[in-house]
Amino acid sequence: MTGTSRPPITRYAHVVTANLATPWPYHLVHLATGPDDVRPPAELYPAFHTSFDWHSCVHMHWLGVEVLRAGHEDATLRARLDANLTAERLAGEVAYLRAHPSFERPYGWAWAARLAASCRAAADAGDADAARWADATAPLADTVLGLAVPWLARTEHPVRHGVHSNTAFGMALLLTAADDLGRTAAARDLRTHARRLYGADRDWAARWERSGHDFLSPGLAEADLMARALPADELRPWFAAFLPRPEELTAPARVVDPTDGHAVHLDGLNLSRAGALFRLARALDDASLRDAGDRLLTAGLTALENEAFVATHWLASFAWDATTSR
């Protein structure tokens, strides 16, 4: 990789520890049933009430576990993870999800499952703290997978936006987490629904991407899902028919106002496209996709220099995902 070098792992550790100590501002998405149900985030979400919103808090915890898994030791980071990833606090999160079964569907669900998978991987590598976290997050993973499969069975049309509601992105993370956690029935069902929803897609209209606040590429998110769902001999012809001109999705986006929370989504788009291209390059053995990913990653990593909270509460997770997918 040329151009911008990868940020030091201490940068990621700092971002996580800072976010997990930042309860406000918080973008609360809660359907209140009456005046007594208007409550602060920490009461509603006992584990995930910092980092601006629920899903960002979940993936900040995921990033923290990933940093520790990579061999970096940080006592403050470990202590903050340990304080939140307890059986009691995660039971509160599970109860909330069961009481509000469409909350954070599917984006937050996907990150929750990925967090549980990371905790389990760290535990299997010998981290005693992570063993507790894995046990505590296992019911969280089972809950979101238990919500996702029947929801997908009721879904006739996937959501193809380039933001949180995108169906393919959520399914991709859920599928890999199910595989990693040994939830074979859920993984089988997710693959079945991926084939049903996307298997016949052809000639993606890449020229219509991107929208002004996308942080996902709908086309590459779908291809990334199918790379996880299909065997190699089926993926190659599917991809050639679906995205015959992938180069149309590889031009880096530019953020004009880095203090605008929607505008900085385009920094995330550079990073999420890079990650998807790296995974597709590996699945398809295509060096041109990897080279395109490198250009997008170089552009995307510059966003980690933005100290505005609209960027710091989430972009580091996408940067980590992209760099570790290369």
pLDDT in tens, 21-67: 999 999 999 999 999 999 999 999 999 999 999 999 999 999 999 99
pLDDT in tens, 58-68: 999 999 999 99
Query: Of the candidates 47, 71, 70, which has an alpha carbon nearest to the alpha carbon of residue 59?
Result: 47
Segment holding 317, helix H or strand E: helix 315-325
pLDDT in tens, 104-140: 999 999 999 999 999 999 999 999 999 999 999 999 9
- For 9-28+40-325, CATH number? 1.50.10
Q: CA of 189: how far to CAs of 143, 145, 292, in Å?
A: 15, 10, 32
The stretch 17-24 carries a mean pLDDT of 98
- 164 with 55: CB under 8 angstroms? yes
pLDDT at 2 over 50: no
Of the pLDDT bands very low, low, confident and very high (cuts 50, 70, 90), residue 5 is confident
Q: Which amino acid is at 49?
A: H
CA distance 59 to 285: 29
For residue 6, the model assigns a pLDDT of: 85
Q: Is 97 helix (H, G, I), strand (E, B) or coil?
A: helix
Angle of the 315-325 helix axis to the 54-69 helix axis, nearest 10: 40
The per-residue b/e assignment along 159-189, b for 16 or more CB within 10 angstroms, e otherwise, is bbbbbbebbbbbbbbbbbbbbbbebeebbeb
Retrieve residue 200's tokens: 């016949």
Q: Which amino acid is at 92?
A: G
pLDDT at 310 over 90: yes
Report the share of the chain in percent with pLDDT over 90.
Answer: 98
Return mean pLDDT, the chain: 97
Query: Of the candidates 163, 181, 173, 176, which has an alpha carbon nearest to the alpha carbon of residue 53?
Result: 163
- 194 with 175: CB under 8 angstroms? yes
Within 10 Å of residue 294's Cβ, how many Cβ atoms? 18
CA distance 53 to 39: 15
Q: Where are the domains of the chain?
A: 9-28+40-325
The stretch 141-156 carries a mean pLDDT of 98
For residue 4, the model assigns a pLDDT of: 53
pLDDT at 181 over 50: yes
pLDDT in tens, 277-290: 999 999 999 999 99
The stretch 290-314 carries a mean pLDDT of 97
CA distance 216 to 218: 6
Q: What is the signed CA dihedral for 169, 171, 176, 180, rounded to 10 degrees?
A: 140
Q: CA of 84: how far to CAs of 29, 129, 179, 232, 277, in Å?
A: 20, 12, 25, 40, 33
